[in-house]
Amino acid sequence: ILIIGDSCEDVWSYGQCDRICPDGPVPVFVPLYEKQNKGMAGNVYNNIKSIIKNLKVDVNIEFMTNTEIVIKNRFVEEKSNHLIMRLDTGENVVTEFNMNQLNTSLYDMIVISDYDKGFLTRKCIQSICESHDTVVIDTKKPIDSFCKSAKFIKINHHEYDNSRLHLSKLLSNTDFEDNLIVTLGSNGCKFQNNIYEVEKVEVKDTVGAGDTFLAGFAVNFLLYNDIDTAINYANNCATKVVQMRGVNII
């Protein structure tokens, strides 16, 4: 499996907020401890690596991502688990991926995790999708013809709503509509008008759950080539991580 996409450092700063700043109507944040791990495509990669290890299957993985350091720092009130603010740095300097580095014939599956930070252009994604039979893509770009050749396209329901103007031009293409997987949060996900429900659990954090879903789906589909099994497995993986604080590995 090749995982390709833009990645970052996810930093979670947990602290306490016991008073309001006298200089303005904002809480005073006193840091207590931090959690840090790879985010975006890096989270997909780490989840795939962990799933392969847990399943004890012989699957080789490769990861292509930006070399620039992008940081997403979230400040969270520890007792309530309330997000105070998020500080992003470095995402404006991400260098575009050089397609000359890529030989798609080396892989049985390509997983694209595109967070639209500049690493992967529409032209690049389209080229990858058209050059390989099994591309699974999760993109933050509005869906358009650049990814219609993908084997599966995974987006969440907010991204689906944002893409409707683009989708209306493409949904007449049966192959495109049939390959669209829309995650629905606590309601599971939708594929070809079928709803795949999930267990109702206490949700502590949804950040990174889509990455875990993508990872679980990709590995399971590669191993068993069954869409229903892959979606149910992906749902179960995502359900486990939303019960933990921060971004976590399955």
Q: What is the pLDDT of residues 194-205, one digit of tens each?
A: 999 988 888 777
Q: What phi and psi, each to the nearest 5 degrees, are found at residue 144?
A: -155, -170
Residues with Cβ within 8 Å of residue 174, at least 6 apart in sequence: none
| pLDDT for res 168 | 59
- Rounded Cα gap, residues 204 and 235, in angstroms: 16
- SS3 string, the chain, reads CEEEECEEEEEEEEEECCCECCCCCCECCEEEEEEEEEEEHHHHHHHHHHHHHHHCCCCCCEEECCCCCCEEEEEEECCCCEEEEEEEECHHHCCCCCHHHCCHHHCCCEEEEECCCCCCCHHHHHHHHHHCCCEEEEECCCCCHHHCCCCEEEEEHHHHHHCHHHHCCCCCCHHHHHCEEEECHHHCEEECCEEECCCCCCCCCCCCHHHHHHHHHHHHHHHHCCHHHHHHHHHHHHHHHCCCCCCCCC
| pLDDT for res 241 | 84
- Above pLDDT 90, what percent of the chain? 68
Average pLDDT over residues 16-27: 92
| pLDDT for res 105 | 94
Q: What phi and psi, each to the nearest 5 degrees, are found at residue 10?
A: -90, 120
Q: What is the pLDDT of residues 101-137, one digit of tens each?
A: 899 999 999 999 999 999 999 999 999 999 999 999 9
Q: What is the pLDDT of residues 29-67, one digit of tens each?
A: 999 999 998 999 999 999 999 999 999 999 999 999 999
Average pLDDT over residues 9-24: 93
| pLDDT for res 243 | 85
| pLDDT for res 148 | 84
Closest CA to 141 of 5, 2, 3: 5
Average pLDDT over residues 216-234: 96
CA angle 112/181/190 to nearest 5° reads 155
Q: What is the pLDDT of residues 136-188, one digit of tens each?
A: 999 999 888 888 899 999 988 888 877 766 655 555 554 567 789 999 988 88
- Rounded Cα gap, residues 59 and 185, in angstroms: 29
